[in-house]
Structure 1
Amino acid sequence: MTIDEIRENFALLDEWDDRYRYVIELGRTLDPMPEQQHSAANKVQGCASQVWLSRQIDRSRNEPRLNYLGDSDAHIVRGLIAILLTLYSGRTPQQILATDAIAVFDEFGFRDHLTPQRSNGLRAMVERIRSDARQALAAAS
C-alpha cells in the first residue's frame, strides 16, 4: 500500500470512528516482528504504549535503504506505525530526511484526534527513524 492509497481511503471516511477503525485495520497489515526483536535496543522511548522499531540497512544498491519492522501493544499505535513505515521503510536516508511525516499525520487530522501522549509517541517514532537516517548518512560519508 502507498501513502496515496491511505490518503484516498482516509478521504472517503467522514467519521473519526471509521478512520480509527481503518488505522487499526492498517496495523493488522504490519509484517510480524520476531520476538527477539522486541528488545530494549529497539524500544522507542517516549511512547505511552510499548513500541518497537527494528531497522535493517539494505546496502545491495548504490544508496543504502532503511527497512523497518514495527510493533506495539496498542492497536491504534500499530496502525500509526503502519502509516509511518509506508512513508519511511525501504527509503534512502535522504528520502527519509526529506519526508515530513508529522505534516502527513496533520494532513490526515491526527493533531486534533490523538491524545498528547500519543502525539508525543508519534514524534518519538519519527525522530528515531530520522536519527537512524542521519546515522546511515554519516556512516556512508
Structure 2
Amino acid sequence: MSIQDKQQQLLDELSLFQDWTERYEYVIGLGKQLEPMADDSKRDDLLIRGCQSMVWLDASCKDGVMHYQADSDSLITKGMIALFVRVLDGESPEEVLKADMSFVEQTGLKEHLAPTRANALNLMATQMKQRALEFAGK
C-alpha cells in the first residue's frame, strides 16, 4: 500500500466520525496502539524539540525500509504522532522524503488544536523526514 493509499485510508476512517471530539478519541486510540517505548529509550536526543508535550521519536532502517517508534507523555500528542507512524512506517527513506504530509490538513484536527499543538504536527512530520534523510542512499 502506498503512502497516499495509507493517507486516504486514514482520512476515510476519520470521515466516519460526526464531530471533532469523536475524531480526537479515534486518534487517541491510535496512539494507544503504538508499542510503548522503554523508559531507557526516552532519551533527550530522541525528543522532538518545540512540542508542548514530551515526544520521543526513534527511527531505524532495515533492508531499505524505515521503522519508526514514538511515544509521548500526552495521549493526544501520542495519537497525532501515531498518524505519521502509520503512514510512514515500512516505507523506504526515499518514499518518506517524497511524502506529501499535507493530508493532516484534511483531517480537520488541526483546526481544533491549540496553536502550539498544531505546530507540533509540522515538527513531527519534519522530524520523521529528517530521520529518513539520515538513511537515504545508504
* Equivalent position amino acid for 1:88 in 2: L
- Alignment partner, residue 18 of structure 1: 22
- Alignment partner, residue 122 of structure 1: 121
How many residue pairs match? The answer is 133
- Alignment partner, residue 81 of structure 2: 81
The CA deviation at 1:5 is: 3.6
Compute the TM-score of the two structures, normalised by the length of structure 1: 0.87
The CA deviation at 1:15 is: 0.8
The structure, 1 or 2, with the larger RCO (C-alpha pairs under 8 Å, 6+ apart) is: 2
What do the CA deviations read for 1:38-94 (whole angstroms, capped 9, x no partner)?
Answer: 001111101000000011211x3xxx2210110001110111111110111121111
- Alignment partner, residue 70 of structure 1: 70
- Alignment partner, residue 137 of structure 1: 136
Greater Cα offset, 77-86 or 107-116: 107-116
Partners of 1:13 and 1:118 lie apart in 2 by 21
Q: For residues 84-123 of structure 1, what are the structure 2 equivalents within 5 Å?
A: 84-101=84-101, 103-123=102-122
The CA deviation at 1:100 is: 1.7
- Alignment partner, residue 3 of structure 2: none
The CA deviation at 1:135 is: 2.0
Match of 1:55 among 55, 59, 65: 59
- For the aligned residue pairs, the C-alpha RMSD in angstroms reads 1.4
Partners of 2:111 and 2:21 lie apart in 1 by 14
Q: Which aligned segments of 4 or more residues in structure 1 are displaced greater than 3 angstroms?
A: 2-5
Partners of 1:43 and 1:69 lie apart in 2 by 12
The CA deviation at 1:4 is: 3.9
Match of 1:37 among 17, 36, 41: 41
Q: Which runs of 5+ in 2 are unaligned?
A: 1-5
Partners of 2:109 and 2:19 lie apart in 1 by 13
